[in-house]
Amino acid sequence: MFWKFDLHNNSHIDQLLDREDVTLRELIEEDDVLQECKAQNRRLLLFLSQDHCMQELVSLITTEPPADLEEKCRFKFPNIACELLTSDVSIINDKLGSDESLLEMLYHFLEQDPPLNPLLASFFSKTIGNLIARKTEQVVAFLKKKEGFIGLVLKHIDASAMMDLLLRLISCVEPAPLRQEVLHWLNEERLVQRLIELIHTGKDEERQSNASQTLCDIIRLSRDQANQMQENVESDPLLAVLES
C-alpha cells in the first residue's frame, strides 16, 4: 500500500517537465515546487538553473508586481521565487553567484529611488544575504567593485531589510582573513561615520531609528566575535572607530 502512495507522490512537477513547452510560471504555481527543489529533484533544478529561468526568478523578486492584481496574489510569485533562490541548493547558488548579469540584475534593485517596497527589499536582502554566506568570495568581489554600494544601502536604510544586509556583511563572511578584508573595506567606506550622520535631528525618523539600531548591532556583533577569537587576531576596525 505504501509503495503505491510513493508512486502517486512522484509529483505533478515531473509530469509538467515532460512537456517541452512548460513555463516557469506553471512550475511555481505547483504547491510542491519548493519541496521538490529542496529534495534535489534533478530535472527541476536543471530547468530552474537555465539562464532564462534564473533571470525571471531574479526579476520577480526585484520588480514591483502589477498594481491591478488582487492583493493576496501580488507577492505570491515573488515570495516563491525568493524561496527558490535561497533554498540553499548548490546548482542555484553556483549559477546566481557566478553569473555577473544576474548579480547586476539584483544590484539594479538598489538603484531605484526610495522608498523601496518593503517586501521586495526583504526578498532582495535575503537573496544577497544567502549569497554572502554561500558564495562569499564572488559576491564580496562584485560588491567591492561597486563604488556606490554602501551609499545606496544607506539611502534605503529606512527599509529594515537593508540593516539586515549590512549586518550579514559584518557577521556572515568566512574565513576570518576575508571577514577582516570586508571590515576594512566597510571602514574605508566610512560606514560608521555615515550611520552616525543619519542619526542627526531633522532626518527621517525611520532612518534615524534604523541607523542607530545598526550601530548598536555592529557593537554587539563585533564584541561577540572578538570574544570568540584568539587574542592575536586583528582587531575589528568598525568597533575601534565606534569606541573612539
Task: Provide mean pLDDT across the span 108-113.
Answer: 96
C-alpha cell at 78: 515573488
Upper half-sphere CA count for residue 202 (Cβ side, 13 Å): 2
Provide the 10 A C-beta neighbour count for residue 143.
20
Phi, psi values for residue 238, rounded to 5°? -65, -45
**What is the rounded distance in angstroms from the CA atom of residue 169 to the CA atom of residue 213?**
16
So what's the pLDDT on residue 7? 41
**How far is residue 74 CA from its own chain's centroid?**
20
Report the range of poorest mean pLDDT among 56-65, 100-109, 129-138, 228-237.
228-237
**What is the rounded distance in angstroms from the CA atom of residue 54 to the CA atom of residue 49?**
6
Q: Is the pLDDT of residue 92 over 70?
A: yes
**What is the rounded distance in angstroms from the CA atom of residue 73 to the CA atom of residue 58?**
18
What are the residue boundaries of the structural domains of the chain, listed by start?
A: 10-135, 147-244
So what's the pLDDT on residue 69? 81
**What is the rounded distance in angstroms from the CA atom of residue 180 to the CA atom of residue 170?**
9
So what's the pLDDT on residue 87? 95
pLDDT per position as a tens digit, 189-220 = 999 999 999 998 676 889 999 999 999 999 99
Residue in the block written with cell 531574479 = 58
